[in-house]
Amino acid sequence: MPKRFVTTKVEIEGREETKIVELPARNPEPWGEDAELHVVGQRIDRMDALEKVTGEARYTADVHLPGMLFAAILRAPVPRGRVTTLDLAAALTLDGVRGGITVADVPDVKIDGVRLLDQTIYYANQPIAAICADSLETAQRALEAITLEVEREPHAITAEQALALNAPAVRKSGNTHKASPRQSSRGDVDAGLADADVVITREYRTPTALHTALEPHGAVAEWTGGRLTIYESTQGIFMTRREVANAFGLPLTDVRVIKNYMGGGFGAKNGAPHSTYIAATLARITGRPVSCILDRDGEQTDAGNRCATIQRVTIGAKRDGTLTAISVDVTISLGIGGWLSSPAKIYHELYRCPNVRSAETFVYTNTGAMASFRAPGHVEGSFGLERAMDTLAHELDLDPLELRRRNYAERDQDKDRDYSDKRLDDCYTFGAERFGWTQARARTRNADGRLRRGIGMSSIVWSAGGGPPAYATVRINRDGTIEVLSGAQDLGTGARTVLAQIAAEVLGAKIDNVRTVLGDTERLPFASNSWGSITTASVGPAVRVAAEEARESLFDAAAQLLDTEPSDLESRDSEIHSKSNDKCMLFSEVCGKLGDVMISGHGSRGPNPERTAISAFGAQFAEVEVDVETGRVRVIRIVSVHDSGRIINPTLAESQLEGGIIQGLGYALFEERVMDDRLGISLNPTMHDYKIPTIGDVPRIDAFFVDGSDTVANHVGAKGLAEPPIIGVAGAIANAVADALGADVREIPLTPWRVRAL
């Protein structure tokens, strides 16, 4: 019978795509909330922790192939202009230098709209040329021997500068993305505002934030027999393979991308960056493997960022707090390129409101391009929306939590469809209880002392359903051990562990007998980028289907050996037994008898439910202490409650929550790229000057999940949880600071000088 293909919608970071997808061979009953599960839901140790604590985990920068050369990148010293002289000759004659490349040597690819090694300069630190040598030090020294002359032209590094009359042309196509202004609306905002008892209007600003993954972008490239192997620190091995194959005119079979361990991604490592093409080109020219790893300066200036935004918001409400209208105009600084993540989207979906309009203007500037950064768009928009909500609550003399409850969105208003499941009300209830919200609100504020305390909260919504395509293979070896194979990536999220747990659950296997293999395009079935919080909800069901198929074969074989029917068999702890328990065999015994006759199963991810929004939800509560003399904000505690469907491994899931909250705290309090207006270069491209949270900044964090299983979303019941915890952190902290000081907070990060000015 021919297989059936259907169309389905998959939402990734706010972008909805239609996919044509094959229906999986089987569609298991969803694991409901009360499903009796033994491995899923357990606190299993992270499976790759051993190699990480011993230093044996080999990251891309640790790959050292025989004869390998090291590359260094020459970058533009000015933010706009053109190269007038570029001469590598002197550098190429130096001892130990093995090759050099300029735009003439590399494939004609564009990265964020800029040609690789272009001699027209669009932003400071744009790659211009590259050298490879026997050592990194030699390559770096050789850069200094390159003759580079540039003609500087006027630049625009902020949205205001780029939008000004007579602004320099940042890109040939203009200074805004052609989709600008991107408009969206429902209802009648003017009528809604006319109907309101209270209307507030504010302008909010958010900074350019840098991912600052500890492992920078980088690749090691090697050509063998005309085929290219790339070790890459990437969230998407298949996307990287496709882009590299296109660039070099190779069939996909001739490019292999491997990612075993990576030192963080956070959204910035989603395709082939400059370093990949540079490594591959230099490797081809020299006939030797080449390692091209960004230095910290390159990572902090040319490897993506969260867009700075200006949000002009007007919100109207009735006296009882019912929202009547929301209007928001957002200006977004993309840098030289990127994609259109939407700060306005959260205004359309988080709280119930019949009349909403937004317009987003995406502005090109002479700075490094943006890249997805953990919940792109929502994190920025959430700050403005949650500040506006608190301002409204203040005007209406309402409890901020009560205001949010009164505007509870039962449906996905933006797309007029139901949610698969929504337990935000539970998050409010449990969060407020754990935090002691009511008691804390009743406490009198110290309005005179030097140290002032305040509390604030916010809500979370994030599309987290994942979807097809995603594939997995499960195979059982002759000793009864099990391999789960999928071309997904574990960024440090715990995907390896979680997928093994799902397979162990289905097979009734001991978790210690299961190993997950990820991150190799040549050996593994396709899975998409690990982005948009999709891996568990996408690959998890595929693993379940693959494991079900493998279990069926295993039980068939065991039934033969035990002289019974497969339907009479059950398994637990890698042991198969009949229901009456009179017959049993270990997996290793069954498979040992089969020898090299392999038991395996293949699974795929089925389509998403039609006309249904699948989202994760949550609530953040924060308490802060503000030193009014120094302006220093100390976050004392965070309570964070999440509805993420079924939790496969609570320990790893809580680690994700804590990590997201801590990144959100950095965004709220310290993190901003600072540019020199005149020179157009970054003033803080180091880890000292671009401050990320340290262990000393971390408050008491109480982060947990409400029980549940989203059986509409997929048959594992899981939703994504990597991105949601960063959403709303800045809003909750800013609301707490506003509460502490009785002041309006309109801009983050809340550095001491900004707090002092409140």
Regarding 236 and contact with other proteins (CB under 8 A), the answer is no
Interface with other proteins: number of residues (CB under 8 A): 56
Report the residue from 686, 742, 756, 757 that binds other proteins according to the rule CB under 8 A: 686
Tell me, yes or no, if 723 is annotated catalytic. yes
Interaction of residue 531 with other proteins, rule CB under 8 A = no
Q: From its phi and psi, is residue 680 left (phi > 0), alpha (psi between -120 and 50) or beta?
A: left
The secondary structure of residue 520, as a DSSP letter, is B
Q: Which of 38, 67, 90, 137 binds other proteins (CB under 8 A)?
A: 137
Distances (CA, A) of 505 to 204, 558, 633, 721, 722: 48, 18, 46, 21, 23
Q: What span, in angstroms and rounded, lies between the C-alpha atoms of 496 and 487?
A: 11
Give yes or no for residue 698 binding other proteins (CB under 8 A): yes
Question: Nearer to other proteins by C-beta: 586 or 698?
Answer: 698
CB of 141 vs other proteins, minimal distance in Å: 12
Residue with tokens 């993309």: 334
473: part of which helix (H) or strand (E)? strand 471-476
| Listed ranges 110-118, 433-441, 452-460, 653-661: which one lies at the site for other proteins (CB under 8 A) | 653-661
Stretch that binds other proteins, among 206-214, 349-357, 592-600, 603-611 (CB under 8 A): 206-214
Alpha helices in 34-126 (DSSP H): 49-53, 89-92
Any idea of the CA torsion for 332, 336, 339, 340, to the nearest 10 degrees? Answer: 20
Verify binding: residue 214, other proteins, rule CB under 8 A: yes
- Give the ranges where 397-534 is alpha helix by DSSP (H): 400-406, 424-435, 437-442, 495-507
Site map (CB under 8 A) of other proteins, residues 55-94, x = contact: xxxxx-xx-x------------------------------
Identify the CA nearest to 113 among candidates 357, 362, 323.
362
Q: Does 223 help bind other proteins (rule: CB under 8 A)?
A: no
Among 492, 618, 680, 717, binds other proteins (CB under 8 A): 492
- Is 261 one of the binding residues for other proteins (CB under 8 A)? yes
DSSP symbols for 185-201: EES-HHHHHHH-SEEEE
Residue 374 contacts other proteins per CB under 8 A: no
Work out which of 20, 50, 598, 674 binds other proteins, going by CB under 8 A. Answer: 50
Contacts of 382 (CB under 8 A, 6+ apart): 346, 350, 458, 460, 727, 728, 730, 731
At its nearest, how many Å lie between other proteins and the CB of residue 14? 23
- How many CB atoms within 10 Å of residue 656? 23
The dihedral over CA atoms of 530, 650, 48, 271, expressed in degrees to the nearest 10, equals 10
**515 contacts other proteins (rule: CB under 8 A):** no
- Could you say which of 222, 549, 723, 747 is catalytic? 723
CA distances from 99 to 61, 84, 90, 290 (A): 20, 22, 12, 10
> How crowded is the C-beta side of 387, counted as CA atoms within 13 Å?
29
Site residues for other proteins, window 103-122 (CB under 8 A)?
none
Give phi and psi for 24, each to the nearest 5: -65, 155
Binding-site member from 215, 421, 549, 671 for other proteins (CB under 8 A): 215
Instruction: For other proteins, give the closer residue by CB, 265 or 273.
Output: 265
| Contact window for other proteins (CB under 8 A) among 117-125, 131-139, 404-412, 590-598 | 131-139
DSSP character for 112?
A: T
Strand, coil or helix: 474: strand
Stretch that binds other proteins, among 213-221, 378-386, 433-441, 562-570 (CB under 8 A): 213-221
Examine residue 20 and tell whether it contacts other proteins (CB under 8 A): no
Choose one: 42-50, 119-127, 245-253, 434-442; the region binding other proteins (CB under 8 A): 42-50
Nearer to other proteins, 477 or 656 (CB): 656
State which of residues 2, 18, 36, 54 lies at the interface with other proteins (CB under 8 A): 54
**CA 571/CA 240 separation, integer angstroms:** 40
Give me the least distance between CB of 660 and other proteins, in Å please.
Answer: 7
Q: Would you please indicate which residues are annotated as catalytic (active-site) residues? A: 723
Interface ranges with other proteins (CB under 8 A)? 45-46, 48-59, 61-62, 64, 135-137, 211-215, 261-264, 266, 295-296, 491-494, 651-652, 655-656, 658-663, 686-688, 692-696, 698, 701
